[in-house]
Chains A and B, each alone.
Chain A
Amino acid sequence: MIRFEHVSKRYPNGRDALADVSFEIGAGEMVFLTGRSGAGKSTVLKLIALLERPSRGQVWVNGQSTAKLSSRRIARFRRGIGIVFQDHRLLQDRPVFDNVALPLMVADVSLRDLDRRVRAALDQVGLLGRERALPPELSVGEQQRVGIARAIVSKPPVLIADEPTGNLDAALAGEVIGLFRRFQEAGVTVLIATHDLARVGSVGCRELTLRDGVVVSAAAGSEEPLPVIVAVR
């Protein structure tokens, strides 16, 4: 479902964020992408969502090589990927409902379906009833969950999340991971970047660890929390 083949990424400022990264995530799999701050986790996610292009190597998503996508096709391609951002990227002056509805609007979903599906997504993240609130009126954790609702509302086959539990307390973090687990059980391929796996636990999922832009371990999932990777922010 997601495949990196010898991918390197050098940012325009000369910084090498990834060096020869290869891995594969099967359809319906849930994988944690770990590594300390600056290891290149967000870069991996950006390459998947085509927010950046690889300097070398190839990225395959949904059986499609991202290298061959024309700018016209990128929009459609992105509709197949739900993205939860590290900084949530909510529209601060639009109510929760509008924020969550956006991926449906760009996909030309009719207004009636839109209403139903937005409510269903908000229900899943426990925010039903807050449709009219503006993001600044929500707590940071609630904003994070609005971001998750937006990522899943269009039922994309691939879900990528950058530090989705970063601002949540342990209980909420566990709930959110449980939420991702449910999406995975429904057949969604999930990739979660976090520097804080110790806190949430890998819940039996595979873990990919990056250090300085290189994959250093691709541990098989275990029910036990994996060794702590020191979080430096």
Chain B
Amino acid sequence: MSGRIANWGVRHGHACVSTIGHLARHGLASVLTVLAIGVALSLPLALQVLVDNVGGLGGELSDSVGLSVYLKPQVSEAAARQLAATLRARRDVARVTVISAAAGLTLLRQQSGLGAALDALSGNPLPNVLEIHPAATATSPSQLETLRAALAANAGVDTVQLDRDWALRFNAIVALARELLVVSAALLAAGVIAIISNTVRLEIQGRTAEIEVTKLVGGSNAFVRRPFLYAGVAYGAVGALLACAIVTGVRLALAGAVADLAAAYGSHFALQGPGLREVSLLIGSGVVLGWLGALLTAGRQIARLAPQAG
């Protein structure tokens, strides 16, 4: 068993040395490949970081989301306050403000300039209204819809109006960005596989003499393939690291402008990330893509190379 492990070590040691030697000898081509992979991977990473950051903004936006609950005319102000108290206990509700019919009429008088016309009315035509602010954790469209339905189900409730346009639009944009992220990640993953496949193909073509001789002295296809797989993995991993560096660089470069913009809206928002989770995920993807890309080409190309009867 330990013999087998030692053997494994030897084999991979040889392949590693061979890979490193080769990458060193073909510096420029390797650098260009890594650059292409880094740029390709930085796009989905940037989107991910953006979505994470902006998704967090949803909390700040919860203040701008509100539901107006119009109670039936026969519901008294006391009953309205009673209902408000029950609603405050809900987890998805942050604040409930009661605007009594009387207070509503005063507001209307002040804001509309319809004082005389309102005086002419015999009674107060306005119902009691509850202004509801959902909890920051409950601002997604589906959660708001659940809340709206729950409110509407109350006996004394006439209508529920959701003042949600801008929050909904915002959430829809974030959702779209998430889907865009998935699609772009898939496309660029295919792109990275293609880049690495092509680089490995060119390297194999540049080393046909070496591969042939290696096979002549008894090198198996697996042996010949190994350094190319290592190279693919190295390209993927280093490219992923480069992508992280690019995105972090862009974030730092934008920090000032973002701070100004946030200040203009009275927010302390600042771009975060990419965090450890994103970085390790990206490097993992880079490794897998590199390995796949190299495997796809190397397997076929090497088996096809002479010596003929091999």
Q: Do A and B bind each other?
A: yes
List chain A positions with a Cβ less than 8 A from chain B: 49-53, 71-72, 74-80, 83, 85, 89-94, 102-103, 105-111, 150, 154
Q: Which residues of the other chain, B, contact A106 by a CB distance below 8 angstroms?
A: 214, 217-220, 223
A79 to B214, CA, bound (A): 11
Q: Which residues of the other chain, B, contact A90 by a CB distance below 8 angstroms?
A: 213
Q: Which residues of the other chain, A, contact B14 by a CB distance below 8 angstroms?
A: 105, 108
Question: Is A74 in contact with B217, judged by CB distance below 8 angstroms?
Answer: no
Q: Which residues of the other chain, A, contact B218 by a CB distance below 8 angstroms?
A: 75-80, 103, 106-107, 154
Question: Is B310 in contact with A71, judged by CB distance below 8 angstroms?
Answer: yes
Q: Which residues of the other chain, A, contact B210 by a CB distance below 8 angstroms?
A: 91, 94
- For the complex formed, measure the closest distance between the CB of A61 and the CB atoms of chain B, giving whole angstroms: 13
Question: Is B310 in contact with A79, judged by CB distance below 8 angstroms?
Answer: no
- For the complex formed, measure the closest distance between the CB of B168 and the CB atoms of chain A, giving whole angstroms: 61
Q: Which residues of the other chain, A, contact B213 by a CB distance below 8 angstroms?
A: 89-91, 102
Tell me the nearest residue of chain A to B15, going by C-beta: A105
Q: Which residues of the other chain, B, contact A85 by a CB distance below 8 angstroms?
A: 216
A90 to B139, CA, bound (A): 71
- CB-contact partner of B10 in A49, A76, A108, under 8 A: A108
- CB-contact partner of B310 in A75, A91, A103, under 8 A: A75
- For the complex formed, measure the closest distance between the CB of A65 and the CB atoms of chain B, giving whole angstroms: 14
In the complex, whether B82 has a CB less than 8 A from a CB of chain A is no
Q: Which residues of the other chain, B, contact A105 by a CB distance below 8 angstroms?
A: 14, 219, 223
In the complex, whether B146 has a CB less than 8 A from a CB of chain A is no
- For the complex formed, measure the closest distance between the CB of A203 and the CB atoms of chain B, giving whole angstroms: 27
Tell me the nearest residue of chain A to B210, going by C-beta: A91
A141 to B220, CA, bound (A): 30
In the complex with contacts A108-B7, A110-B6, A111-B10, A103-B309 CB distance below 8 A = no
Tell me the nearest residue of chain A to B8, going by C-beta: A108
- Encode B203-223 as 1/0 by CB contact (under 8 A) with A: 000000110111111111101
In the complex with contacts A75-B220, A108-B11, A51-B214 CB distance below 8 A = no
